[in-house]
Structure 1
């Protein structure tokens, strides 16, 4: 058998990120499985746990073979399964579904940055697992009546072409823009839905965080999510389009933390990164200038919020540093 080539810097970076994300997901699942009061939800999460866990081990083996230090990631010290439920009414599956959505994007991107066959196959396997459980979570929420469905629309009867530049609209608030198209509805609806789950998650974090600065940070995130949801809802309502209104998934009255502040901050950072990436795609496919401007402003606010969170994590020594490239200037000295 030919000897494996060494992993590249890109492969090292993506494996490091994947290890961080997967160890975080396992800790969340451990708590949600322990507190699950619905057998079907518990089965979905338990089976997902058992499918993900071996891949954390595989990544550890790759690091060992490359004589690279194994990241800390998140351990049993970051979760306390004995505390009361922090979330109720299907939030566990809502959270897992959104995490699987983030994972799908990450694994697909990671494949494009890998060249060693075993690493490509690792991400390919993780993609299949992610798609499988994303679908299971989606169908579960539909069955329980907890998933807001996008609005229906009359089917087009003929092909139409854009006739002039007025289709793009402008930034004048007093000018009537055209009705939003279905591509724009899809992206706005998705952004609202993701923000609702994120707001529910961070509401629980704000209730139970140990440090005052993290509690303040999470509280700010709740208000930021509310403002985004309000702005995007108004876009849909202007054209009489139904807005997302999922039922359930709320935080309980518990103020006892099941997760470490470190892990809750990392999870929030992950959601912010996903929001920036998702909104970038939404902006690129929106042909109405006012919508692009609105989403760009939201992205700027999320970016600033994420950087504020990074400063909090650095202050507390919670931000694990990714592997660095060699500092050639220092080596020359």
Structure 2
């Protein structure tokens, strides 16, 4: 008989991380479904509730088959489906779209760390489901006129080559600052869009939490998002490039929390990780020297804010410890 493949530490880590993310996503979808009155959007949420529930059960089944404890993740105690709407329906879709975008990136990373066929297949299925969610959110938002698309550009008619280092310095042959290229614009635009949504999301969290420390933390995050939007928008406007103008939505006046403090802190930590990754990639692919000099300090700000959030999670007892390796010294010295 073929010996059963043992799950690796990397695979256990990816399953554990995915369980945290998916159970959080499930709780948020449950709430958005409960407070939404639009039939088409209700069908969308209901569809993804069913898919998320099945995905979570698959992860639980793999862990249980390996004799591993199932993480706590986020349970029904982390959502209040009776709470009034905290966000307008269109903005709830914006949140779903960003979370799907984060999920797509995470699944790609986790797939690359998988070796067993069933786990590879799991992340392929998760990727397909998340891509479908992203596509549906995008279509619904475009239908409602609530999604600003990046600016159009004239199509290139020939291939141009970089012939000297002036291009990398961010200048043209006359020594003037060159216009941003489409690669650079795409990263700037995406960062402005995600921070615009993050700013409103964290504003909503700030107005419903009863914890003074979290209220202060969320308010700081709101100001950081505004700072990022202002600095990156200036880079686009300096080159007469349109910035995201579509109204993304805002919180309602509700002060009743639909989510636990634990869930809200974890959600913001995901946004911080997403911001760190996307800005780091944007820095790598930017060929105009003034862009990294703008992005790197912002990356530092995001990192510091993320660390502050992690410390709050630990202080409040919200952090679930990931599975650890065996401590061989303790085993050897055990009497």
What residue in structure 2 maps to residue 96 of structure 1?
Answer: 96
What residue in structure 2 maps to residue 291 of structure 1?
Answer: 291
What residue in structure 1 maps to residue 125 of structure 2?
Answer: 125
What residue in structure 2 maps to residue 142 of structure 1?
Answer: 142
| Unmatched 5+ stretches in structure 1 | none
Could you tell me whether the CA contact under 8 Å between 1:20 and 1:73 is conserved in 2? yes
How far does residue 157 in structure 1 lie from its aligned partner after superposition?
Answer: 1.6
What residue in structure 1 maps to residue 81 of structure 2?
Answer: 81
How far does residue 89 in structure 1 lie from its aligned partner after superposition?
Answer: 4.3
What residue in structure 1 maps to residue 165 of structure 2?
Answer: 165
Q: Deviations over 1:185-222 (max 9, x none)?
A: 01100010011111111010000012110111000000
Q: Partners in 2 of 1:294 and 1:42 — Cα distance?
A: 41
Could you tell me whether the CA contact under 8 Å between 1:80 and 1:258 is conserved in 2? yes
Find the residue that maps to 2:84 and give its secondary structure: coil
Find the residue that maps to 1:90 and give its secondary structure: helix
Could you tell me whether the CA contact under 8 Å between 1:89 and 1:250 is conserved in 2? no
Q: Partners in 1 of 2:216 and 2:176 — Cα distance?
A: 40
Q: Partners in 1 of 2:176 and 2:88 — Cα distance?
A: 42
What residue in structure 2 maps to residue 35 of structure 1?
Answer: 35
Moved more, 161-170 or 15-24: 161-170
Structure 1 residues 1-333: aligned runs within 5 Å = 2-169=2-169, 176-333=176-333
Kindly report the root-mean-square deviation, in angstroms, between the aligned alpha carbons of the 2 structures. 1.4
How far does residue 311 in structure 1 lie from its aligned partner after superposition?
Answer: 0.7
Q: Partners in 2 of 1:325 and 1:288 — Cα distance?
A: 43
| Unmatched 5+ stretches in structure 2 | none
Q: Partners in 2 of 1:138 and 1:296 — Cα distance?
A: 30
Q: Partners in 1 of 2:249 and 2:6 — Cα distance?
A: 45
TM-score (norm 1): 0.96
Q: Deviations over 1:8-61 (max 9, x none)?
A: 000000000000000000000110001112222221111011011111111111
TM-score (norm 2): 0.96
How far does residue 273 in structure 1 lie from its aligned partner after superposition?
Answer: 0.5
- Using a 3 Å threshold, how does the CA distance of structure 1 residues 3 and 57 change in structure 2: closer, same or farther? farther
- Using a 3 Å threshold, how does the CA distance of structure 1 residues 3 and 249 change in structure 2: closer, same or farther? farther
Q: Deviations over 1:161-207 (max 9, x none)?
A: 11221112269xxx842110000001100010011111111010000
Q: Partners in 1 of 2:288 and 2:62 — Cα distance?
A: 47
How far does residue 292 in structure 1 lie from its aligned partner after superposition?
Answer: 1.3
Moved over 3 A (4+): none
Moved more, 273-282 or 23-32: 273-282
Q: Partners in 2 of 1:14 and 1:128 — Cα distance?
A: 17
Q: Deviations over 1:245-297 (max 9, x none)?
A: 22242101111100000000000001101111111111111111110121111
Q: Partners in 2 of 1:309 and 1:325 — Cα distance?
A: 25
Q: Partners in 1 of 2:155 and 2:86 — Cα distance?
A: 43
Q: Partners in 2 of 1:170 and 1:245 — Cα distance?
A: 27
Could you tell me whether the CA contact under 8 Å between 2:196 and 2:248 is conserved in 1? no
Q: Deviations over 1:88-121 (max 9, x none)?
A: 1401111111111111111111111010000000
Find the residue that maps to 2:226 and give its secondary structure: helix
Q: Partners in 1 of 2:318 and 2:258 — Cα distance?
A: 17
